[in-house]
Structure 1
Amino acid sequence: MAKFQKGSSVSKVFNNSRFGGNANPSIHIGLGILVAFFFFSGWIASKNIQTLQQNTVLVTRTHETLTALRDVLSVFKDAETGQRGYLLTGDENYLAPYNKALADIEENLVTLEELTEYNMTQRDSLAILKNHIGKKLAELEATINIRRTEGFQPALALVKNGEGRAEMDAIRRILSTMEGTEQLVRNERISDMQRAYRTTAVHIILTSIVGLILAVVAFILIRRAINARARQNWLQKGEAALAKATVGDQTPETLGENILRFFADYLHIQAGAFYV
């Protein structure tokens, strides 16, 4: 009689069959790389979005500064229009644009102070501008008061002395310089924003390509791991079934027949034996 011993060379047939193998441990590494990649990509995308937002705010701030500078000149034109109308007619109604301009100029200067807070060059120019604005407003007020108290000719004489024109020319010159400086800042900020857009676009494309490749690799690794686990389960089930088929005292002929029948059924193969 012969008894089949568990762990004998017969059970090793499973390890040599096409179903043998172990699970692939690299699946954990692959998934770790995939997660790390998308985490890093998300961080880069967040930084790019922050850069775009900052550049958008800065470009908007520059546009607002340019608008405020142009508004100062426009308001002064309104003030001069009101002054001239009153000087010619003596009618207080003509001072409406002048009176409105006084309030608007003050508001525009406050706006410019806020918008140029972090630009020292513009802050220095603004300080000089405010000095000339003060002198020009004083000249406008003086001519209006003289026209009101002394008449047209004395007021006209004050206008002709050229002080008001000199101050207005200085205001125009400073506003033009500040506008030119702000245009340079605007162009630089727009260039930064365009670079940020290009960087974001390239990042999205590269992330999509690399992410797709990593996803495919992860899929392959996962599938291999699943197949390896299935093979391992198949092996364990086969060993248990083989042990059951060979348990007990059996003659060599019976044992051989049972083993052969088991492998033929379990491996789905055809087998035969020759007896001499």
Structure 2
Amino acid sequence: MWSSIYTVIRTPAVVSAAPLALVVLFGGYLSYRYNMILKDNRDLVVHTHEVISSVEHAFSDIKDAETGQRGFIITGDAKYLEPYERAVYISPESLGKVRRLVADRADQLDRLGDLEVALRDKLNELNATIWARRNKGFDAAREAIAQADGKATMDRIRAIVALMTSTEQGLLADRTGRVARDERNVLLIAVLAAVASMVTRIVVGFMVHRWRADHEVA
């Protein structure tokens, strides 16, 4: 029995298949490994884009709210308050999304905490001036705006948002570079695997040819 198995193993078909199988398996392993690395880095790039988009969205909402507040104070028309009311409604949700996205980043969590405080101060200021315009008139609202110093609060918000986004932009550049490198590696592995497979086929074919020639002579 064992002699039959040994004879089969020594046949040209098995001898030629073994090296080729090893090359294919090793190439497949490397390809799988680097494709997983590539996928992970692509996911990180998408994640970074989401952080930037979410931070900028929260900033856009508060800018729209301030624009609506100004329109209402000037005209007294409640339709201008729609952006403000929308910001009040969705701001906690927007900030909650940012918090989930940066949950593993202590530096960004600290900045987000500062941003939450600044946004809350801004919304409180807008609410106070809107209340003054609605209940006491234009002059009272103008005085409330002067006392609140809303520009300083908005500048603080801008500075925090700029710092958060610039941090993410730095990460994005690094992660995008990793993706480009990994794509090159995956392509290189595919080319090397193809070349190795071709070379293995040629070498094994030559060895099988020699093996058959030797046995024919014998």
- Equivalent of 1:221 in 195, 200, 207: 207
Q: What is residue 102 of structure 1 aligned with on the other side?
A: 88
Q: Which runs of 5+ in 1 are unaligned?
A: 1-22, 236-276
Deviation at 1:227, TM superposition (A): 4.9
Mapped contact 1:147–1:154 kept (Cα < 8 A): yes
Aligned counterparts of 1:140 and 1:107: Cα–Cα separation in 2 = 19
Tell me the alpha carbon deviations over residues 25-71 of structure 1, each in whole angstroms, 9 at most, x when there is no partner.
Answer: 59556543322221111111001111111111111111122112221
**Is 1:151 matched up with 2:108?**
no
Q: Give 2:114's aligned amino acid.
A: I
State the one-letter code of the partner of 2:81. Answer: L
| Residue-by-residue CA offset, 1:97-140 (whole Å, 9 max, x unaligned) | 21122223223212211221222221111111101111111111
What is the match of residue 151 of structure 2?
165
Aligned to 2:79: 93
Q: Does 1:178 align with 2:170?
A: no
Deviates more, 1:99-108 or 1:163-172: 99-108
> Which residue matches 1:44?
30
Q: 56-65 vs 95-104, which deviates more?
A: 95-104
Question: What one-letter code is carried by the residue in structure 1 that aligns with 2:77?
Answer: D
The 1:26/1:88 distance shift into structure 2, 3 A limit, reads: same
User: Using the alignment, how far apart are the partners of 1:217 and 1:109 within structure 2?
Assistant: 63
* Counterpart-to-counterpart distance in 2, 1:49 and 1:147: 60
State the shift of 1:225 in Å.
4.1
Of stretches 56-65 and 106-115 in structure 1, the one that deviates more from structure 2 is 106-115
Q: Does structure 2 conserve the Cα–Cα contact (< 8 Å) formed by 1:90 and 1:147?
A: yes
The percentage of aligned residue pairs carrying the same residue is: 30
1:78-89 matches, cutoff 5 A: 78-89=64-75
1:69 equivalent to 2:48? Answer no
How far apart, in 1, do the equivalents of 2:212 and 2:54 lie? 68
Contact map agreement 1:48 1:196 (CA 8 A) in 2: yes
Question: What letter corresponds to residue 42 of structure 2 in structure 1?
Answer: T
Relative to the length of structure 1, the TM-score reads 0.70
Count of matched residue pairs: 210
2:160 counterpart of 1:191:
no
State the alpha-carbon separation in 2 of the partners of residues 47 and 54 from structure 1: 11
Equivalent AA in structure 2 for residue 77 of structure 1: K
Which amino acid letter does the alignment assign opposite residue 169 of structure 1? D
Q: Is the CA contact 1:24–1:225 (under 8 Å) kept in the aligned structure 2?
A: no
> Which residue is equivalent to 2:119?
133
Q: What residue in structure 2 maps to residue 203 of structure 1? A: 189
Asked if 1 retains the 8 angstrom alpha-carbon contact of 2:125 and 2:148, the reply is no
Cα RMSD of the aligned pairs, angstroms, is 2.3
Name which one, 1 or 2, has greater alpha-carbon Rg: 1
